[in-house]
Structures are given as C-alpha cells and as structure tokens.
Amino acid sequence: MARWVRRVAILAAVVVLLGLGTVASAQLLRRHVDQAIPHADLFGPSAAPSASPSPSPSASPTPPPGAAIKGPLNILIVGLDTRETILSWLPHADTVMILHVTADLSRAYLTSLPRDLVVNVPAFAPAHFGGERTKLTNAMSFGSQVPGSSIPNPVQGFQLLAKVVSNYTGIARFDAGALLTFTGMRRLVDALGGVDIYIDQRIQSIHLQPSGRGRTACGGCANGYSGPRATYDVGFAHLSGWQALDYARQRYTAGADYTRTRHQRQLIVAILAKVHQLDVLTNPVTLANILGALGRTLIFDGRGYQPSDFGYALRKLQPENITLVGLPGTSVYGGGGQYLGESLNAVQSTYFAALRQDALAAWVPGHPNLVNTAPRRP
C-alpha cells in the first residue's frame, strides 16, 4: 500500500501519483488524493477523439482505477510565473513541458519548449484576443484575460496555450494536463524533506542571498540586484524547497533559458525519485504535508480520469525510466538587433514526429548529445 503513495509526484510537473501497490490500496486511498488536488477543464471544448476513452460502467468485479487508460500518452505540464499575492497580475507560462509515456506505460520522455519560443498564437474568443505572432509565454497572458474583469483566469490561459503547443508540435490531443505554481513546488520539496540533485554547472542566484533572503534591488546593478548571491557549485547537493526553486529559476547563465529548462526537468525527476524513496504511510504528518502541498501546487485535468487513475496506469514507470531531452535552439533578432525570442533547431520536427509515432526509443540513440544525463551518486 505504501508504494502507491510513495510515488506522488510526476504527473505534471509533476506531481500526480505514479503507481499503486495494490488494487486495495488504490480503492482505500484514492479519495484522499483526488480530493486534495484541484481539478479544472484545462483544455476546453474539443472535437478531437479521446485516445483514452472516459470510464464507463462495467460489470463486476470492478476493474482497478485507471485500468482503462491506455498508452501512449502525452501530458502537458505548465508552470506559472505569477505574483500570487497580486490577484490582478497577468500570469506567464514560465515553464512548458511535454511528458510522453510509451504504449506499454513503462517508459517516458520529458522535454521542454522555451518560454520565449516565437509562435503563432491564434485568436481566442473567451479572452477577446485576435491572434498574434509572439513568445509562447504570452499565450498564457493573452488567454487569461477575462473581458470585464481585472482578475485573470489561468485555467482559461492554459486552454489557449495548449492550442498553441498542439499547433507547434502536431500533437492533436493531450491526454492530461497540469498547471503548476512554483511557490507550490517549493512547499512540495519542503514536505519531502528536500531533494537530491546533481548540479551540472555552477549557478549563482540573481534573486536570493545564501541565507535564502531576497537580494537588494538596485537600479544600476547587474540584473537589478546587489549583495551576496546564493551559489550552487558543481556536484551532488541536497536542496531545500527555496534552494531547489531558486536553482531551477536561473536563466542568466551559460546556456540561458535552455540551461534553465534542463534544470527544471532535472528537478522534476529529483522530486519523483524522492517521493519514490519515502514510506509516507508510516508518517501521517508527511503524507498530510505532501497532499497539502499538492493541493496548493497544481490544477489537474485528466480528461475524465482522476489523479489516482493515472497513478495506477503509470505504476510501472520508474524515475530511471524517464529520459530527459533538451531540444536546441537559437535566439531570433529583428531590425536594429531587437531580441524577438527563440527558435528551436530543425531537429525539433523529427523529435515530435517520433513522439507522435511513439518511436522515441529509436530516435534517442541517434541524438545522444540531446539527452540530459547526470552521474549517479556513489
């Protein structure tokens, strides 16, 4: 039964139960998890057929939760950059990840789209938005606007962003989605007692001091701040919630946003690995903290299925069976050297073509330089 709860962390960045130990444990505990995680319609109305049809009544005996979910699966994970205490602040999509799970549901591939990827954002009637060619992150902002209200709706913004990602990648339909706040991610890491991660390049924080306190704003200083900086040196490290979030936020470094998205993918797998290690059922306080953090971390859409359904369906997916892929790109400039955003290299089209055919197992060996790997702790 403990194995079911030990894996509370991958779906959508990720954090939805990855495996039930037994059917009995699923039926006993699923209501706690499903009630803790908020649900919303993240994709909006769609005429596209469901890859995994919604559950329907069946004869006795009742099948395990999620037994009807079939692979391959594509899951869209979006992390918000927002000021959670300022209700009128328009959110941006700070992180956009796509998790592809193979047909047998035992392996997965996680990649990212740059927040500044230049894309065509289509017209979106709910926000009275007429369409524009702009950065991917702006799709969340444009879609979140509610006519006649100063309070944005990130769920509505996800709907527009999902359309953009579908158009760009050719993925006609996502099987699930998750909308994350990074403040919530910090709470989740702390609820887990921190995470272990290999830091692959020296990172200095723009935002925080070594103590975790904010650096001093300074108009004439580099990147707008002054004072001592939290520093993450190459090697194995145990990071608390604020450290993990700070490390994964930094993009003013070698590799810029491509480095940052790599670190965010690594953090997702580190969270999953830590959850996988914990026997949380023996510690009700830890379990309650994890579920509480999840409830403040993400909004989930299983397209008719509950988080626990995906937990059972993905019970064979282990942290070591998740391949992290970094798609390369270059900056795009307009007249006068104005920065317009990012453009992924042509290899992205072959990656997403292989994804749509569930053929990434054959694609990856031909592109070893795009696979993010790290040494194992001795």
Q: Mean pLDDT in runs of 10 for the chain (378 residues)?
A: 34 38 47 72 67 47 74 92 64 89 94 95 96 96 94 94 97 92 77 90 91 88 87 94 89 84 85 73 66 73 84 79 93 92 96 98 96 78
Question: Which residue type is seen at 213?
Answer: R
Other CB atoms within a 10 A radius of the CB of residue 253 amount to 15
The reported pTM is 0.84
Strand 235-239 relative to strand 329-333, pairing: unpaired
Sign for the pseudo-dihedral over CA of 301, 306, 307, 312? negative
- State the Cα–Cα distance between residues 198 and 263, nearest whole angstrom: 10
Query: In this predicted structure, what is the pLDDT of residue 22?
Result: 38
Residue 324 DSSP code:
E
Only one residue has tokens 């403990």, namely 2
Query: In this predicted structure, what is the pLDDT of residue 27?
Result: 52
At 342, which helix (H) or strand (E)?
strand 339-344
Query: In this predicted structure, what is the pLDDT of residue 278?
Result: 72
Query: In this predicted structure, what is the pLDDT of residue 61?
Result: 59
Sign for the pseudo-dihedral over CA of 152, 156, 158, 160? negative
- State the Cα–Cα distance between residues 53 and 61, nearest whole angstrom: 20
CA nearest 244: which of 178, 182, 322, 319? 182
CA nearest 323: which of 293, 364, 356? 364
Query: In this predicted structure, what is the pLDDT of residue 42?
Result: 93
At 363, which helix (H) or strand (E)?
helix 360-363
